[in-house]
Structure 1
Amino acid sequence: MKDVKYIYNSKTCQYERARVTWRDIVFTTAGVLFTATLLFIGIVFLHNRFVTSDYERELRTENNLLKEHKPVLLQNLQEIEATLVKLKTEEKDLYTKLFNTTPPSEKNTTASLSKEKVLLADAGDFQSILETLKGRSEALYHRTTDSHTTDQPISQEDIAMMLSLPSILPIDSLEADQLVSGFGKRVNPFHKGMYLHPGVDFVAPRDTEVRATAPGEVNSINRNELQAGYGNSIVIDHGHGMSTRYAHLETITVHPGQKITKGMVIGTVGSSGGSIAPHLHYEVIREGEHVDPALYFIEGITSQQHHQLLERSKQSNQSLD
């Protein structure tokens, strides 16, 4: 028999059967729900704390691997970034020297990965970081290997041609202001008329050593005591249509047919021939045509010094011969 609850009614002085009110229902329901909630939270906590699923074990293993490889990834990224910056700098310097102009700005402005972004990345972001690193690595690979691919072969003939270019200065430790007259139309120091000055004039003290600007063979030597023309001069054939002339020398230390190495001393600065002051008149002849020697001064100097020499060579003034 189901238990029936009775309560004492003080007004009637009798025990009466208890009635269930809405208030009792609400409180009872709330209590049951609260107890059930606490029980559920406890079960979930105990499950998460002491029970590990296969999926959770995989995630924990992956997170541990990510933490372990983040420093390695960061180090690789920093090395690649440093190499790319160095290559870009060298590429700009070489472009400036070869083409006498500022390199074009790069359209690709992909931002680099920061150290903080790598270290704070979670598993979801790590794949994108790896993709970025892969892209930077491929860019570095292509930048450093494009010149060696079969699409752009460099033959031995090409290498020999590049080595024959007169790329160094004919006098050691030259300053840009020592180039006192450049290639092109200039004022003749004797008759004061305009004429084509086929080379550049470097002012220097007598007996300053003059060096060959590229390897080759002495083609001809001219010794002239007249106060006209090139005076004491040397012409060196570098092959591949390139030759250089060194004029108004004081002394000559080589002979016709002699093999010459780059940087070899071939004579000294003087003022022989049609010269008004001690200096070296230097010419570059390519395929029988005179070209501006300043364009070839790229070895052993900075891009700034190269620009200064080009600017000095462009100035219209009076030559020394």
Structure 2
Amino acid sequence: MPGVWTSDVLGAPFEQQTLPLPPGADGELAATLVRSVPGPLSALTGPLRDVDVLSVHGWSDYFFNRELARFWNALGARFYALDLRRYGRSLREGNTPGYVASLDEYDADIDAALAAIDSGRRRLVLQGHSTGGLTLALWTARHPGRVDRLVLNAPWLEFQTGAFARQAIAPVVGARARFDPFGTHPPVDLGFYTRALTELGTAPRGDMPAAWRPVRGFATHPGWLNAVLEGHRRVDEGLQIACPVIVLLSRRTVNPFVWSPAMTAADAVLVVDEIARAATRLGPHVTIARIDGAVHDVFLSAPGARQVAYRSVDAWMRSRVPGALFI
């Protein structure tokens, strides 16, 4: 039975649909699908008029970027964004925000979203940011033939301290995940990234629920960190994603522990050179676009960097890319 689309918190033209999931140990679980469709002219004549885009957010986040939806709609694509379980619109009373013991748990969320989209013969583009980028890269590798192109916006493909340190801490994290999965970690988010977005004017508007995107992020737990490190290990071994992939990154990383104006023009979350190296292990057809002046979420950067990012994706989508099923 088709789900029901209702008005979304972002207002028209956005609509949302709740995707029920089996309950978890912390109560009711659901994912939420948000959609925005192109206007009649773009839907009829746009170069991507037979494309569906499914976008997945990063850690301590949810979908709120209207401009991103308009970009895809202007090309004729139908745009969908998924708030995963325990995030944003999907956060329920009693839930541990953002928690999963394995990134594979999101298969149910993604499968439910794709069933609701019901693309039929339309082409599918997945777009993921940060942890969402890692999640979608792993999902695409496990589901060959399902995705036509993969757009990754600063995907969290490697731990900030690099592969060697990750391999050293992984056994300790894994042991704690088994015995104390919901234990606490010292806070590492000092709120500077949120401050940078606020100064840029690209943070969520003030009337959006603050609990969906706390200034200093969600608390992290050993079970969740173990899930992320396992994802990094799989990327390090090589994913062999067959479809074309584009990875958008800032040109540089800035110290995340001391505020500076440079945080409005650099990545204050990930070490972008590590991510660029890890991206080469995604598959045989990977394009890496380094955007000068971009912040961690490239599409929330200052206008100049943001437009370079959009133009890069537009040109890549229209190009003949090796391994592509379409142009």
Q: TM-score with structure 2 length normalisation?
A: 0.22
Tell me which structure has the larger Cα radius of gyration: 1
Q: Which has the larger helix fraction?
A: 1
TM-score scaled by structure 1? 0.22
